Homo-oligomer: A and B are copies of this chain.
């Protein structure tokens, strides 16, 4: 179907909406990192970093493996793929390319006939 599991997208996009967390992800792109390593570039407390990491973990964006007293984090690609896929749905808007489905929708729109979904024909045109 067109729509993904939206509550997950909520937490994924929310996690991505913070520069610190995006930076952590980009750090994790080059390999496994411990909590302290992830926290190091920022001038925030370790507790604050821990919360960020938990947000990422909660969104499924990273996975944590505890070895001894150290927590190692690794990137988990699935949710990133989901977000990417959701955005791909709008790709036609910046590429200008239409696929079959979009062409259909667009045809209806230019014909100005009542759409299948919402027939708000009460509005005047200009």
Q: A residues near B, CB below 8 A?
A: 2-3, 6-7, 9-14, 16-19, 22, 25-27, 29-32, 34, 37, 40, 67, 70, 75, 77-78, 80-81, 83-84, 86-91, 93-94, 105, 108-109, 115, 117-120, 123, 126
Partner of A87, one of B3, B27, B83, B115: B83
Closest chain B residue to A105 by CB distance? B30
Q: List, in ascending order, chain B residues with CB within 8 A of A80's CB.
A: 87, 90, 93-94
Q: How many copies altogether?
A: 2
Chain B CB within 10 Å — which of A11, A13, A67, A78 has the most?
A13
Q: List, in ascending order, chain B residues with CB within 8 A of A31's CB.
A: 109, 118-120
